[in-house]
Amino acid sequence: MADLQHRWQDGFPKIGIRPTIDGRRKGVRESLEEQTMNMAKGVAALLSENLRYPNGEPVECVISDSCIGGVAEAAASADKFAKAGVGVSITVTPCWCYGTETMDMDPSIPKAVWGFNGTERPGAVYLAAVLSGYAQKGLPAFGIYGEDVQDAGDATIPEDVKGKLLGFAKAGLAAAYMRGKSYLSMGSVSMGIAGSIVNDAFFQEYLGMRTEYIDMSEFVRRMEEGIYDDAEFEKALAWVKDNCLEGPDNNPPHLQTSRERKDKDWETVVKMAMISRDLMVGNPRLAELGFGEEALGHNAILSGFQGQRQWTDHFPNGDFLESILNSSFDWNGIRAPYLVATENDSLNGVVMLFGHLLTNTAQIFADVRTYWSPDSVKRVTGHELSGAAAGGILHLINSGSAALDGTGEQTRDGQPAMKPFWEISEEEAKKCLKATSWRPASVEYFRGGGYSSDFLTRGGMPMTMSRLNLVKGIGPVLQIAEGYSVELPEHVHDALDKRTDPTWPTTWFAPKLTGRGAFRTVYDVMDNWGANHGSISYGHIGADLITLASILRIPVSMHNVAEEHIFRPRAWGLFGTDNAESADYRACANFGPLYK
């Protein structure tokens, strides 16, 4: 089996396209019917041709049966959308329409309005009127208005309008897909890390998600009682032996384990990976084996594994299960990642989920461990940082749990990249595996043994690091830092890497600097980061993260995204236009969580 396809059995939210029209008959409406419906069809084609669901299939759009000229047709459209599973709403019009009579009133569906910039029957007038109604009713909507005037017969979608339609749709679908899904907490709080205190209210009210919990003893039960597919286990173990290169053991000789113990650890960590996946999404094969309850899973699109310390002081660590599930390939072939947060850091898991749903790519989970200033690098190695790294670099490294896609061994246009699974070739997957070694775990950290992935991310990749924090009195707050992966000379990397645990994967990251605020210097980025972890996504996706955050009513405390790329609901401007960061906080507090 290439993947457990049942994980997609509930389908995906669709985008509803609402063509609104001037309701006056006897010539006015009739003259606009074809143009208005064609606008809707054009938007549907744009979205389906450019956006894909996490399983690789094109996004589906549903168009209202008729143009919407009044409340009766608006209600009929809402009924059709509800039955069709629409989770995102886009209203389009080339003309004046009756604002509050034609608007989408569902409070939980992200919504946008494109008002055609034309002079004959200006859609901009309706756009302004209906956005005023949305603000007055407490239903924030995104306004889309092209910069240049178009002729009435122009059926093209301008580039600036395309960008906003696609940006909104990506973020809206991410919000809609999370609704009704689960976060699975495998274990509890790891080493007092605040992010692994799973906050039910946050998941429920801001993301529309459930929180599910299992004790880590469930892994022991399933291993001892054989609650896994033994045939798949044999296949997986053989694949691991052929594809997972075991690296040198860095432990002192008296703490190194026997070959027999190492082989046993491999068996255990492979079973742990299979069991984690089955816990998340279920596995029909378990029902065939007589385990009907376990076959169902927890409907989880995201999970976290506590590991440290109660598990890892006695059993092999979770690095393999986290690394291989977070990657886009395993013994069943190339497939979509299963997102697992290290140390059950649910808040870092959430931004992993945001990044994945916006890009359909695997994510790197890492400690934001060390800021290396140019002076410090030169003092330790004699090397002078330059290029993107000239202002200093951040050492992103964690206990071997990052997705193997993070090696950068996939390519796009000849450059290192991380790609959606359907674009990854077998050769690229093999290169990622070949660039990774599996090091016997440091007994200093993991008394129970296990394996940690070790790789070095290739330089030159555009990347976005993000983090969600909970602040008492405010709620969730998002941080974003766009930048680039950096490649250092081998001797420089070795000198810096060996000052910490060299058995873990490293990404050298240089954030883009703006010269002000938290991005005045690289040191300021490190100094303002809100937690010990960050999630790193391929590409500069800060603008999409900001759009998604505004849909979910999560303010953004720091980012280095250019102002002209930021897209939020029109009502945000009513909270002030001079200081967008301050207005964002006030708007989010005013409208409150999406599902409260």
Are the beta carbons of 63 and 20 closer than 8 angstroms? Answer: no
Q: Strands 329-330, 300-305: parallel, antiparallel or unpaired by DSSP?
A: unpaired
Judge whether 232 is annotated as a binding position: no
pLDDT of residue 124: 85
Categorise residue 326: left if φ over 0, alpha if ψ from -120 to 50, beta otherwise: alpha
For residue 10, what pLDDT band results from cuts at 50, 70 and 90? confident
Q: How are the residues of the chain apportioned to helix, strand and coil, as percentages rounded to the nearest 5? A: 40, 20, 40
Backbone phi and psi for residue 437, each to the nearest 5 degrees, phi listed first: -115, 155
pLDDT of residue 151: 87
Q: Which two tokens stand for residue 421?
A: 């699974």
Q: Which two tokens stand for residue 141?
A: 């909507």
For residue 4, what pLDDT band results from cuts at 50, 70 and 90? low
Are the beta carbons of 16 and 90 closer than 8 angstroms? Answer: yes
Burial of 289 per CB tally in 10 Å (0-12, 13-18, 19+): middle
Going by C-beta distance under 8 Å and a sequence separation of 6 or more, which residues neighbour residue 589? Answer: 474, 555
The beta-strand segments (E) located in 119-174 are 142-144
pTM of this structure: 0.96
Name beta bridge partners: 479. Answer: 467, 558
DSSP state of 204: I
For residue 6, what pLDDT band results from cuts at 50, 70 and 90? confident
Alpha helix positions (H), 203-250 = 217-224, 230-243
Q: Quick one: which of 403, 402, 385 has its CA closest to 394?
A: 385
More confident residue, 399 or 17: 17
Using alpha carbons only, give the angle 330, 335, 340 rounded to the nearest 5 degrees.
75
d(CA 136, CA 115): 19
Cα atoms in the Cβ-side hemisphere of radius 13 Å centred on 342: 23
d(CA 580, CA 404): 37
**Alpha carbon of 11 to those of 59, 85, 350, 595: distances in Å?**
11, 9, 21, 21
Judge whether 367 is annotated as a binding position: yes
For residue 116, what pLDDT band results from cuts at 50, 70 and 90? confident
> What b-and-e string marks burial along 357-383, b requiring 16 or more CB atoms within 10 Å of the CB?
bbbbbbbbbbbbbebbbbeebeeebeb
Tell me the torsion sign for CA atoms 553, 557, 559, 565: positive
Report the Cα 504 to chain-centroid distance in Å.
Answer: 23
Mean pLDDT score of the chain, rounded to an integer?
96
Are the beta carbons of 509 and 485 closer than 8 angstroms? Answer: yes
Q: Which two tokens stand for residue 457?
A: 């991310």
- Average pLDDT (323-334) is 98
Are the beta carbons of 485 and 455 closer than 8 angstroms? Answer: no
Q: Which two tokens stand for residue 370?
A: 């060390």
pLDDT of residue 2: 41
Whether residue 55 is predicted with pLDDT greater than 50 in this model: the reply is yes
Going by C-beta distance under 8 Å and a sequence separation of 6 or more, which residues neighbour residue 528? Answer: 479, 518, 558
Active-site residue, selected from the candidate residues 319, 322, 343, 428: 343
Cα atoms in the Cβ-side hemisphere of radius 13 Å centred on 194: 11
SS3 356: helix
- Average pLDDT (408-430) is 98
pLDDT in tens, 522-565: 999 999 999 999 999 999 999 999 999 999 999 999 999 999 99
d(CA 295, CA 306): 22
> Can you list the pairs that 271-274 forms with residues at least 24 positions away whose Cβ atoms lie under 8 Å?
271/222, 271/223, 271/228, 271/233, 272/219, 272/223, 272/316, 272/318, 272/320, 272/321, 273/236, 273/320, 273/321, 273/324, 273/325, 273/330, 274/228, 274/229, 274/232, 274/233, 274/236
d(CA 79, CA 75): 6
Helices 346-359/159-178 angle, 10° precision: 140
Burial of 494 per CB tally in 10 Å (0-12, 13-18, 19+): middle
pLDDT in tens, 182-192: 999 999 999 99
The amino acid present at 7, given as its one-letter code, is R
The reply to whether 343 belongs to the active site is yes
The reply to whether 151 belongs to the active site is no
pLDDT of residue 177: 98
Tell me the torsion sign for CA atoms 372, 378, 380, 381: positive
Q: Which two tokens stand for residue 563?
A: 């102002």
d(CA 525, CA 481): 8
d(CA 291, CA 283): 10
pLDDT in tens, 460-506: 999 999 999 999 999 999 999 999 999 999 999 999 999 988 889 99
The length of the chain in residues reads 596
Whether residue 291 is predicted with pLDDT greater than 60 in this model: the reply is yes
DSSP state of 575: G
For residue 154, what pLDDT band results from cuts at 50, 70 and 90? confident
Q: Following DSSP, what letter does each residue of 379-432 receive, concatenated?
A: HHHS----GGGTT-EEEEE-SS-S-GGGG--EEETTEEE---GGG--HHHHHHH
Q: Comparing 177-181, 340-344, 411-415, 440-444, which segment has the lowest mean pLDDT?
A: 440-444
More confident residue, 154 or 554: 554
pLDDT in tens, 379-415: 999 999 999 999 999 999 998 889 999 999 999 999 9
State the Rg of the chain over Cα: 25
d(CA 585, CA 592): 10
Q: All domains of the chain, ordered by start, with CATH?
A: 1-178 (3.40.50.1070), 182-591 (3.20.14.10)
Active-site residue, selected from the candidate residues 73, 205, 345, 367: 367
Whether residue 343 is predicted with pLDDT greater than 50 in this model: the reply is yes
Name beta bridge partners: 61. Answer: 15
